[in-house]
Structure 1
Amino acid sequence: MAAGQRRRGAELEDAILRAAAEELTASGYAGMTMDKVARRAGTNKNAIYRRWPQRAALGIAAYKHLADTRTPTPDTGSLRGDALELLRRANATWSSPFGAILRDLLAAAADEPALLELLREQAGGRAMNAAWFTLLSRAVARGEAPPEAVQPRVAALPLMLLRGEYALRGIPSVPDEVLVEIVDEIFLPLVRGRGLTH
């Protein structure tokens, strides 16, 4: 960049997000400071605070920048195969260093409902919910599930159970046999039984 040339708008915002994402990757959320991000981005803290008034908000935006929410919904040809693949992907992400960053951000935003909502929106939560709706809709089209199964609580259940395994057991990764149990013993019977209750 030529001397005296200042970045503005989207260019500066992108530089800040890249720098924050690099800091998150290198140091985790605990080590990501506004000073470090400003230095790495070649800007000042005021430029960051104008866009993200809290460190947690910047951390959430940086996490979104890191997240690959464009991963296509699996299409294995069966509801069981699709559900297992989505759960396995979530398990792999949550038990990785990337998942540790997400857990740190959740802890930082725990007492701030607005930040928690921002985290849900930006950290791939909506994309993941959409993936489960897609999976259920495909199952309906194949005749594997009744139309009544395509609803928010049914779609959210597998991931809620997976989160529960992390929270209750405090384990770094959920064993694959537990994922199979979630799909075979809870999710599939629930999906198939929806048509019987209406």
Structure 2
Amino acid sequence: MVKMRRHGSELEAAIYTAALELLKEDGFSALSFGKIATRANTSKSVIYRRWNTPFELIISAVQAQIISENNGRLDQLTLNGKTLEADLSQLFKRLNISLSSFGALSVGNLIGEVSQQQSEILRKMINDATKTDKNSIDKVILRAQHRGELGPGDLPETLQLLPFEWLRYHVFIGGGIDQQKINDLINLVLIPSYKNELPPK
């Protein structure tokens, strides 16, 4: 097969698509740059110039897919709720979609077979996600403070990250979560905790 000359984002998209397809079909342990290059109709040298390992490539592909399918990072979401509950619901609905696009099977394949070097890559991805999580919830809290639903101040990190860690656990380990459980998290756990920590004046 004649390899197509593609560059930039078009080539990158083809490589990402090939890598994710192979991950779903064969699992992480069977991934190789050779297989990815063949599926993407490009050369191994092109892939080697951009990524050091298949694991690093898969992490990049997953992150790019989530951003593409959701029109940007989570902390770039334009909130339009009229209440704290509505903003939280919008934020976590979007997060749930993002996590589902990652796929519980893919996560199991990745986490179950990482080496020490790959763990560093995964740790960086988690650290980046933590920063995004904090920025996202801070936007929600600031809007609630402006509306008078919450008092001034900052949430402790535990409360900032609690809903994100809870959702990731249920999606990655439990295989998914429905809207009713998200509503219960918001109304029975988060809003009472936020109001206790930042009582309205």
Q: Determine if the alignment matches structure 1 residue 178 to structure 2 residue 181.
A: yes
Residue pair 1:94, 1:100 contacting (<8 A) in 2 also:
no
Q: Deviations over 1:8-42 (max 9, x none)?
A: xxx45x45532232114433352653113323455
**CA shift in 2, pair 1:35/1:121, >3 Å:** farther
Whole-angstrom CA distance in 1 between matches of 2:137 and 2:108: 22
Mapping of residues 1-198 of structure 1, within 5 Å:
11=7, 14=9, 16-28=11-23, 30=27, 32-68=31-67, 70=72, 72-96=77-101, 98=103, 100-109=105-114, 111=116, 112-120=118-126, 126-166=131-171, 170-195=173-198
**CA shift in 2, pair 1:134/1:106, >3 Å:** farther
Whole-angstrom CA distance in 1 between matches of 2:85 and 2:114: 34
User: One-letter code of the match for 1:120?
Assistant: I
Residue pair 1:146, 1:191 contacting (<8 A) in 2 also:
no
Residue pair 1:74, 1:85 contacting (<8 A) in 2 also:
yes
User: One-letter code of the match for 1:22?
Assistant: T
**CA shift in 2, pair 1:189/1:100, >3 Å:** same
Deviation at 1:145, TM superposition (A): 1.6
Residue pair 2:99, 2:168 contacting (<8 A) in 1 also:
no
How large is the RMSD of aligned CA atoms in angstroms?
A: 3.2
Residue pair 1:73, 1:134 contacting (<8 A) in 2 also:
no
5+ long unaligned stretches in structure 2: none
Whole-angstrom CA distance in 2 between matches of 1:143 and 1:110: 48
**CA shift in 2, pair 1:54/1:131, >3 Å:** same
User: One-letter code of the match for 2:145?
Assistant: V
Deviation at 1:121, TM superposition (A): 5.3
Deviation at 1:166, TM superposition (A): 4.0
TM-score normalized by the length of structure 1: 0.74
Whole-angstrom CA distance in 2 between matches of 1:186 and 1:109: 34
Deviation at 1:104, TM superposition (A): 3.6
3-state SS, counterpart of residue 153 of structure 2: helix
5+ long unaligned stretches in structure 1: none
Q: Percent identity?
A: 21
User: Please, which moves more after superposition, 139-148 or 183-192?
Assistant: 139-148
User: One-letter code of the match for 1:74?
Assistant: L
